[in-house]
A and B are shown apart, each in its own frame.
Chain A
Amino acid sequence: MSGLRVWVQGIGLLGPGLNSWPAALAVLRGAQAHSLAPTVLPAPARLPPAERRRAGAAVKLALAVADEAVAQAQIDPGTLATVFSSSSGEGTNCHALCETLATPAPMVSPTRFTNSVHNAASGCWHIAVASRASSTSLCAFDGSLGAGLLEAATSVQLSGEPVLLVASDSPYPEPLHAKRPLPDHFGLALLLAPAADAHSLAALTITLTGADAPAATCTDASLDALRRSIPAAAALPLLAALAQATPQRQVQLDYLAGVGLQVDVEPIARPVPEGAA
């Protein structure tokens, strides 16, 4: 099988010690050691004030990386289809609802309930950018990044239109944190297109593999710890390959116990903006 071929037009990244795609390039290239600083979530500037106040961490994270990828690709988000993939939704919401529901006469907050859906980030983004294009929201537990990449790449190929992929995870508060420990927020966005143009950063060729091939690791031990502990950070070997100036073949990514993903990454040479980091 030839694999799914798509072009990367824009990248968004936010995680511990990784404050944006340009800011993370040196670490991803191995030119600088990763330093583990807590993820700082910006206020979602695109949302109207009322929605901005209601936005929880998961929405802030998803919208921040989505914005970065769209800005880099210089594409109109108002017509853009999207795929949001996450191993869980808004953890603080889920905790607050479960706490309320454990009381004798629960008084559930309608806002919390509305934003408890797995597609809350998708809904907020499409409202913010006024897009009626298709959007889906996925979960495959620790394999959520791989699921999102497959859904986005097949959608690009079948529709012939660009798709914004957002893969992001946020931790739960206690006591759920003890049952599902995620150390911090991590999110990335890839704007994928069916053909190359002046904004293309790289071509990806994605194939499904059996489970035998072990996932590529990150040379930096601190980055590799992130890769192993946050589902969306399974993309780090792909991001590291995208940060290189030379083609990176057969980058193996974790997906499910029985299925892996392999990505060939061919960068398209373009200058990094001065002072971008």
Chain B
Amino acid sequence: MTPLGISSCTLTTALGAGCAATLSAMQAPRTGLAPVRFQGVPLTTWTGEVAGVDAVTLPDHLTDFDCRNNRLAWLALQQDGFLEAVAAARARWGAQRVGVFLGTSTSGLLQTELAYRRRGPDGTLPADFLYEPTQSTYSLAAFTTQALRLSGPSWVVSTACSSSAKVFGTAARMIAAGLIDAAVIGGVDSLCLTTLYGFASLELLSPEICRPFDAARSGLSIGEAAAFALIERDSNTPQGWLLGVGESNDGHHMSSPHPEGAGAIEAMRAALADAGLQAAEIDYINLHGTATPSNDAAEAKAVVQVFGTQTPCSSTKGATGHTLGAAGGVEAVMVLLAMRHGLMPAGLNVQQRDPDLALNYLVENRLAPMRYVASNSFGFGGSNACLVFGSEEA
């Protein structure tokens, strides 16, 4: 692909709101995970809850969109000068030439879950429950488009935990096809009961803090997050470059990865080919690394096949939790920060590295310049995506 400059980016996770808070947590390093408090859920698990979401108020003309997911989106959009960067892009290209492509898995579903607790005697949902601006999977992109006063094409990609990685491919294609000149991309997923109880039902939630790539890892910790990036045809202020996108499917199982990582291998190879890079040129890999026994085992096998055993790599989910449909976007912004500051982030919470996972997995921060990095995101339904970023054009 033609390299695309990322003019602005921001993220809000359990580590804090904005890039500075995230960077300082990465440097410490510290985790944002804590035992679950959300909605008094009686599960034994840890979550990465974002502070202050309940107190966020949406702009007056957008109050129909009020739900946890859009509050989190709005909190994130106000960080790091992102609104100003989008305003400049709107002025430069025109509102109709800026697309909005965002990933989410559950959108405003919490609103529906809570509405089901307030059904009338005849079973009806309360009058204040609005489907389109909250529960609809598209709600996130509709809200963001209106909040940013854009009027280009928009949609939500919802492929579970690869969603907000895949939107980078969507934006690249739409720009290459000449339909738009810039796009706001990223993803938002917020805590809800469906994912907490759902992952619990699959026995994929760890009762303790998640420990990606640890020998005794016992499952994931769910997080919530919002991440946004502004990508432009001809960026005046590139913070980093999108160089390649690889997408594939396992075609194997709805909720388990292919045991040898066959689809993941195809996604990583496709991303490298798209970037025109060799595996040896990648300086750091941000792993999907959910800390489920099967994900980390399959991903390690796949990474070894493509990159060998020496490339420094880590999962940042020990810090943020698994932010599901937002994970690809969050980790994209984290690797852009990592490149800018020459910081390969440690994988947190490792007590004993799994000797069967033959990767150069970082358990301590490493200060080193990075030119090219890769980021993996895999999801239910066998959906895989790998993104390659550069600190400069390839």
A contact set with B: CB distance below 8 Å: 1, 4, 85, 87-89, 94, 97-102, 105-110, 113-120, 122-124, 126-127, 129-141, 143-144, 147, 150-151, 153-155, 157-158, 174-176, 178-180, 208, 210, 255-256, 258-259
Q: Which of B96, B179, B194, B248 contacts A97 (CB 8 A)?
A: B194
Across the interface, do B154 and A175 meet the contact criterion of CB distance under 8 Å?
no
Across the interface, do A106 and B193 meet the contact criterion of CB distance under 8 Å?
yes
A122 to B263, CA, bound (A): 14
B341 within 8 A of A: no
Q: Which of A114, A175, A259 contacts B119 (CB 8 A)?
A: A175
Across the interface, do B158 and A113 meet the contact criterion of CB distance under 8 Å?
no
B123 within 8 A of A: yes
A214 to B112, CA, bound (A): 33
Which residues of the partner chain B approach A88 to less than 8 Å between Cβ atoms?
Answer: 136-137
B236 within 8 A of A: no
Contact mask for chain B residues 360-387; partner A; CB cutoff 8 A; 1 contact, 0 none: 0000000000000000000111110000
Across the interface, do A108 and B200 meet the contact criterion of CB distance under 8 Å?
yes
Across the interface, do A110 and B201 meet the contact criterion of CB distance under 8 Å?
yes
Across the interface, do B251 and A127 meet the contact criterion of CB distance under 8 Å?
yes
Across the interface, do B251 and A106 meet the contact criterion of CB distance under 8 Å?
no
B138's closest neighbor in chain A, by CB?
A141
Across the interface, do A134 and B382 meet the contact criterion of CB distance under 8 Å?
no
A87 to B124, CA, bound (A): 22
Task: Given A123-B383, A141-B136, answer yes or no on A136-B247 (Cβ-Cβ < 8 Å).
Answer: yes
Task: Given A88-B136, A113-B201, A126-B250, answer yes or no on A139-B158 (Cβ-Cβ < 8 Å).
Answer: yes
A129 to B252, CA, bound (A): 10
Across the interface, do A131 and B153 meet the contact criterion of CB distance under 8 Å?
no
- Rounded to whole Å, the gap between the CB of A230 and the closest CB of chain B is 15
Across the interface, do B266 and A139 meet the contact criterion of CB distance under 8 Å?
no
Across the interface, do B112 and A123 meet the contact criterion of CB distance under 8 Å?
no
Across the interface, do B170 and A139 meet the contact criterion of CB distance under 8 Å?
no
Across the interface, do B381 and A117 meet the contact criterion of CB distance under 8 Å?
yes
Across the interface, do B193 and A132 meet the contact criterion of CB distance under 8 Å?
no
Task: Given A140-B141, A178-B125, answer yes or no on A123-B381 (Cβ-Cβ < 8 Å).
Answer: yes
A210 to B158, CA, bound (A): 26
26 A-B residue pairs with Cβ-Cβ distance under 8 Å, sorted by A, are: A94-B109, A102-B116, A108-B198, A118-B160, A122-B381, A126-B250, A126-B382, A131-B251, A132-B262, A132-B266, A134-B270, A136-B166, A136-B170, A139-B156, A139-B158, A140-B138, A141-B138, A141-B142, A158-B177, A174-B124, A175-B119, A175-B125, A178-B125, A256-B153, A258-B96, A259-B96
A150 to B157, CA, bound (A): 13
Across the interface, do A139 and B138 meet the contact criterion of CB distance under 8 Å?
yes
Q: Which of A117, A124, A129, A150 contacts B105 (CB 8 A)?
A: A117
B93 within 8 A of A: no
Across the interface, do B155 and A135 meet the contact criterion of CB distance under 8 Å?
no
B62 within 8 A of A: no
Which residues of the partner chain A approach B105 to less than 8 Å between Cβ atoms?
Answer: 117-118
Across the interface, do B178 and A147 meet the contact criterion of CB distance under 8 Å?
no
Across the interface, do A135 and B156 meet the contact criterion of CB distance under 8 Å?
no
Given A114-B198, A118-B160, 13 more contacts at CB 8 Å? Answer: A87-B138, A116-B198, A118-B137, A118-B159, A119-B379, A123-B249, A139-B155, A141-B142, A150-B174, A174-B123, A175-B124, A179-B130, A179-B131
Across the interface, do A98 and B153 meet the contact criterion of CB distance under 8 Å?
no
Across the interface, do A154 and B173 meet the contact criterion of CB distance under 8 Å?
yes
Which residues of the partner chain B approach A120 to less than 8 Å between Cβ atoms?
Answer: 254, 381
Task: Given A101-B113, A131-B251, answer yes or no on A113-B157 (Cβ-Cβ < 8 Å).
Answer: no
Which residues of the partner chain A approach B202 to less than 8 Å between Cβ atoms?
Answer: 110, 113-114
- Rounded to whole Å, the gap between the CB of A165 and the closest CB of chain B is 13
Q: Identify the 4 closest CB pairs spanning chains A and B, nearest first.
A: A123-B381, A113-B198, A118-B158, A147-B155
Across the interface, do B136 and A101 meet the contact criterion of CB distance under 8 Å?
no
Across the interface, do A102 and B113 meet the contact criterion of CB distance under 8 Å?
yes
Across the interface, do B201 and A109 meet the contact criterion of CB distance under 8 Å?
yes
Q: Which of B130, B247, B253 contacts A134 (CB 8 A)?
A: B247
Across the interface, do A135 and B383 meet the contact criterion of CB distance under 8 Å?
yes
Across the interface, do B119 and A117 meet the contact criterion of CB distance under 8 Å?
no
Q: Which of B117, B124, B177 contacts A178 (CB 8 A)?
A: B124
Across the interface, do A127 and B136 meet the contact criterion of CB distance under 8 Å?
no
Contact mask for chain B residues 186-202; partner A; CB cutoff 8 A; 1 contact, 0 none: 00000001100111111
B140's closest neighbor in chain A, by CB?
A139
Across the interface, do B249 and A126 meet the contact criterion of CB distance under 8 Å?
yes
Which residues of the partner chain B approach A100 to less than 8 Å between Cβ atoms?
Answer: 197
A103 to B141, CA, bound (A): 31
Task: Given A133-B249, A140-B138, answer yes or no on A176-B131 (Cβ-Cβ < 8 Å).
Answer: yes
Task: Given A132-B266, A256-B154, answer yes or no on A101-B116 (Cβ-Cβ < 8 Å).
Answer: yes
Which residues of the partner chain B approach A117 to less than 8 Å between Cβ atoms?
Answer: 105, 158-160, 379-381
Across the interface, do B254 and A258 meet the contact criterion of CB distance under 8 Å?
no
- Rounded to whole Å, the gap between the CB of A139 and the closest CB of chain B is 4
A105 to B43, CA, bound (A): 10
Which residues of the partner chain A approach B112 to less than 8 Å between Cβ atoms?
Answer: 94, 98, 176
A110 to B129, CA, bound (A): 27
B260 within 8 A of A: no
- Rounded to whole Å, the gap between the CB of B167 and the closest CB of chain A is 9
Task: Given A119-B380, A154-B174, answer yes or no on A179-B125 (Cβ-Cβ < 8 Å).
Answer: yes
Across the interface, do A134 and B198 meet the contact criterion of CB distance under 8 Å?
no
Which residues of the partner chain B approach A133 to less than 8 Å between Cβ atoms?
Answer: 248-249
B151 within 8 A of A: yes
- Rounded to whole Å, the gap between the CB of B310 and the closest CB of chain A is 27
- Rounded to whole Å, the gap between the CB of A262 and the closest CB of chain B is 13
Across the interface, do A132 and B152 meet the contact criterion of CB distance under 8 Å?
no
A143 to B145, CA, bound (A): 14
B202's closest neighbor in chain A, by CB?
A110
Across the interface, do A108 and B201 meet the contact criterion of CB distance under 8 Å?
yes
- Rounded to whole Å, the gap between the CB of A55 and the closest CB of chain B is 11
